[in-house]
Chains A and B, each alone.
Chain A
Amino acid sequence: MAEQRRIIFRHIDEPGYTPDLACYLRNGGYEMLRKAMTRKPEEWIDEVKKSGLRGRGGAGFPCGVKWTLVDRKSGKPIYLIVNADESEPGTFKDRHIIHQDPHQLIESIMICAFANNVKQAYIYIRGEFPHGAQILERAIAEARAANFAGPNILGSAYGCEIVVHRGAGAYICGEETGLIESLEGKRPYPRIKPPFFPAVLGLYQCPTIVNNVETLCHVRHIVEIGGEAYSRIGTPNNTGTRILCVSGHVQRPGYYEFEVGKVTLGELLNDVCGGPLPGRKFKAVIPGGSSAKVLRFGERYKGKRKVGAETVEFDWGVEDIPMDFDSLALAGSMGGSGGVIVMDDSASMVEALANINEFYAHESCGQCTPCREGSLWMKRITHRMVHDNARAEDGALLKSVADQIAGRTICAFGEACAWPTQSFTAKFAEEFKAYGDPAREADPDAAELV
């Protein structure tokens, strides 16, 4: 059985571990900031690049590259924004870092700030984490009082302030340019790229780094062991550990940290999470937050992939897919935010999609017409299907709407709302077709989903 390797979640749920500074210092806290400041800032950008660390928020973009792209010649201040707007359905990892180990995040923020000559950092935390915001405020005040943040960090001439900024319930603020607009006090309409790459024209039109909470926390550990050693954790191009959040129809839902690619979806769901609920069978799984394309148990994924220098053939069932960015992409889905949502044979795929579509229709920011209109139409069609007005052509109609959203919007929300509909209607076509059939029998134990 694959063993967990807890780096980021090392102290999460540990009896006696508290979110205050004294506890963090007893556990070696801020030693890595001390170490980082004995070397030149740019050396740490190289170390993070060497580590191969990829973003844990959704896109899996290499963190070191993100830092390298920052415009350092503009003469403008460089900002760091921590994306703590955790809101991709199925994802619940940053919540625990913030509530239980806030100083791990703050130390990593300060190392990133030092490496990139940032003097002002913002933590954009979702509005529904009011206690989390208070815990962070308290932790920042403690860190400041002890010279781990604020002016003259560790007695040096270098200083950086951190401000906690609360969102107000909008999913789109997790999109980095939408987040920036929101932080500027506006509606969070995502910006068009080019020209608004945050690394060049970000917050207040200044160069800006936006990193997810979990991603940043790895930085402290990269400083501890070095980029080279870190890159040997996990698998090539999918380095380090990552937290997988499992929810839905399994015996033991929860958060589990593994070396990336060292656990398969089958091991995760059957061995780690205890398998399906009594008397049930797995039917479908969304492997990387609700935007990721659904995987159907029983389907096969075949093709060729690179393992080191070699190209090898693969032939996987759902259970065989290694939980890393590249393998999930080869299976036609994505690692996304690490949120694994499991559905068993009691769940209707039409209702599950109707639930997801309601989410996206509610959260579309409304800036681009295909997404604003399309997400609403998809919601209405699935809603109508569930409420006894299904038509035989609805599956095809849904697909047609989804196909006209993806690729036609400013931000990736267009894809995020189209992918569920595209994958559900393709993989469960017979279920969509049969929905209007009066002879269809619903599972009496099924939960209402919409």
Chain B
Amino acid sequence: MQLKPETLQKIDEVIPKYPVKRSAALPLLHLVQEDQGFISPEAIEWIAARLELAPISIYELVTFYPMFRTKPIGRRHIRVCRTLSCALMGGYKTCAEFERQFGTRRGEVSPGGEVTIEFVECLASCGTAPVVMIDDDLHEKVDCAKARELSERIKAEAAR
């Protein structure tokens, strides 16, 4: 596994922030996932060795925390909030619109690898429901029209 030099530097900086190395497990998983796109078996072993832990101590985190994934995803990550306030305002329709726009189903990588669409639980922005995260950015009041607009933007950015 080849990590970027800046990732390695961040890893070196974050570990001493904790009195116990194991506490750096989540930060390291985030950094490695941001670098590699997902957490491979090799990454699990690498992080475990770096923190002087058995690989199972890292593997059990990857299988528990919803944000970590063991497979690559599309180039853009669309996370649609599924929970009550968003659903009441049409979140399920929003998700279906994204699926239609990219010819894919939630949980899968779209043909061509453009996006991965996912339903996620409450994103803590219920007052502007339905909400969607595209990569790290929150989008509010995403009805079907706005979902189409955002999809067009993603497609245009990919064409560039």
Query: Which residue in chain A gives the minimum CB-CB distance to B87?
Result: A449
- The answer to whether B124 and A343 have CB atoms under 8 Å apart is no
B150 within 8 A of A: no
Within 8 A of B (CB), among A162-217: 163, 165-171, 182-188, 204
Query: Looking at the complex, which one of B24, B89, B121, B137 makes contact with A171 (CB distance below 8 Å)?
Result: B121
- The answer to whether B67 and A448 have CB atoms under 8 Å apart is no
Q: Which residues of A contact B89 (CB under 8 A)?
A: 248, 447
B: number of interface residues (CB 8 Å): 46
B148 within 8 A of A: no
Q: Known: A89-B126, A168-B66, A185-B22. Is A447-B121 also a contact (CB below 8 A)?
A: no
B90 within 8 A of A: yes
B17 within 8 A of A: yes
Q: Which residues of A contact B26 (CB under 8 A)?
A: 165-168, 182, 185
Q: Which residues of B contact A183 (CB under 8 A)?
A: 23
Given contacts A86-B124, A168-B30, 20 further A-B contacts (CB under 8 A): A87-B121, A90-B85, A127-B30, A167-B26, A169-B67, A171-B122, A185-B22, A185-B51, A185-B57, A186-B25, A186-B57, A187-B64, A188-B64, A247-B88, A339-B126, A341-B88, A362-B66, A447-B87, A447-B93, A449-B88
Within 8 A of B (CB), among A105-129: 120, 126-129
A352 within 8 A of B: yes
A403 within 8 A of B: no
Contact with A along B4-19 (1 / 0, CB 8 A): 0000000000000111
Contact with B along A323-341 (1 / 0, CB 8 A): 0000000000000000101
Taking the closest CB of chain A, its distance from the CB of B48, in whole angstroms, is 11
Taking the closest CB of chain B, its distance from the CB of A438, in whole angstroms, is 24
Within 8 A of A (CB), among B75-133: 79, 82-85, 87-93, 120-129, 133
Could you name 25 residue pairs across A and B whose Cβ atoms are closer than 8 Å?
Answer: A89-B84, A89-B126, A95-B125, A120-B19, A128-B79, A130-B136, A167-B26, A168-B67, A185-B22, A186-B25, A245-B127, A247-B85, A247-B88, A247-B129, A248-B85, A249-B88, A290-B83, A339-B126, A341-B126, A343-B88, A355-B83, A355-B84, A447-B88, A447-B90, A447-B93
Q: Which residues of B contact A170 (CB under 8 A)?
A: 64-66
Taking the closest CB of chain A, its distance from the CB of B123, in whole angstroms, is 6
B61 within 8 A of A: yes
Within 8 A of B (CB), among A331-387: 339, 341, 343, 347, 352, 355-356, 358-359, 362-363, 365
Query: Which residue in chain B gives the minimum CB-CB distance to A249?
Result: B88
**9 nearest CB pairs, A to B:** A247-B126, A168-B65, A185-B25, A185-B22, A169-B66, A247-B85, A169-B67, A168-B67, A448-B92
- The answer to whether A185 and B85 have CB atoms under 8 Å apart is no
Within 8 A of B (CB), among A238-264: 245-249, 253-255
Query: Looking at the complex, which one of B17, B22, B29, B85 makes contact with A184 (CB distance below 8 Å)?
Result: B22
Interface residues of B (CB under 8 A from A): 17-20, 22-27, 29-30, 51, 57, 60-61, 64-68, 79, 82-85, 87-93, 120-129, 133, 136-137
- The answer to whether B126 and A253 have CB atoms under 8 Å apart is yes
Interface residues of A (CB under 8 A from B): 86-92, 94-95, 120, 126-131, 163, 165-171, 182-188, 204, 245-249, 253-255, 290, 339, 341, 343, 347, 352, 355-356, 358-359, 362-363, 365, 447-450
Q: Which residues of A contact B23 (CB under 8 A)?
A: 165, 183-185
Query: Which residue in chain B gives the minimum CB-CB distance to A77?
Result: B19
User: How distant is the Cα of A87 from the Cα of B61 in the complex, in angstroms?
Assistant: 19
User: How distant is the Cα of A33 from the Cα of B67 in the complex, in angstroms?
Assistant: 37
Q: Which residues of B contact A169 (CB under 8 A)?
A: 65-67, 120-121
Taking the closest CB of chain B, its distance from the CB of A189, in whole angstroms, is 9
Taking the closest CB of chain A, its distance from the CB of B132, in whole angstroms, is 12
Q: Which residues of B contact A86 (CB under 8 A)?
A: 124
- The answer to whether A128 and B127 have CB atoms under 8 Å apart is no
User: How distant is the Cα of A248 from the Cα of B89 in the complex, in angstroms?
Assistant: 7
Query: Which residue in chain B gives the minimum CB-CB distance to A347?
Result: B88
- The answer to whether A126 and B68 have CB atoms under 8 Å apart is no
Taking the closest CB of chain B, its distance from the CB of A337, in whole angstroms, is 10
- The answer to whether A89 and B129 have CB atoms under 8 Å apart is no
User: How distant is the Cα of A362 from the Cα of B27 in the complex, in angstroms?
Assistant: 23
Q: Which residues of B contact A120 (CB under 8 A)?
A: 19
Query: Which residue in chain B gives the minimum CB-CB distance to A182?
Result: B26
Query: Which residue in chain B gives the minimum CB-CB distance to A166?
Result: B30
- The answer to whether A127 and B84 have CB atoms under 8 Å apart is no
User: How distant is the Cα of A358 from the Cα of B91 in the complex, in angstroms?
Assistant: 15
Query: Looking at the complex, which one of B25, B83, B93 makes contact with A89 (CB distance below 8 Å)?
Result: B83
- The answer to whether A127 and B88 have CB atoms under 8 Å apart is no
- The answer to whether A92 and B121 have CB atoms under 8 Å apart is no
Q: Which residues of B contact A163 (CB under 8 A)?
A: 17-18
- The answer to whether B124 and A87 have CB atoms under 8 Å apart is yes
Q: Known: A167-B26, A170-B64. Is A447-B84 also a contact (CB below 8 A)?
A: no
Q: Known: A166-B26, A339-B126, A447-B93. Is A356-B84 also a contact (CB below 8 A)?
A: yes
User: How distant is the Cα of A165 from the Cα of B24 in the complex, in angstroms?
Assistant: 9
Q: Which residues of B contact A245 (CB under 8 A)?
A: 126-127
Query: Looking at the complex, which one of A171, A246, A363 makes contact with B127 (CB distance below 8 Å)?
Result: A246
Interface centre among B23, B25, B82 (most CB of A within 10 A): B23
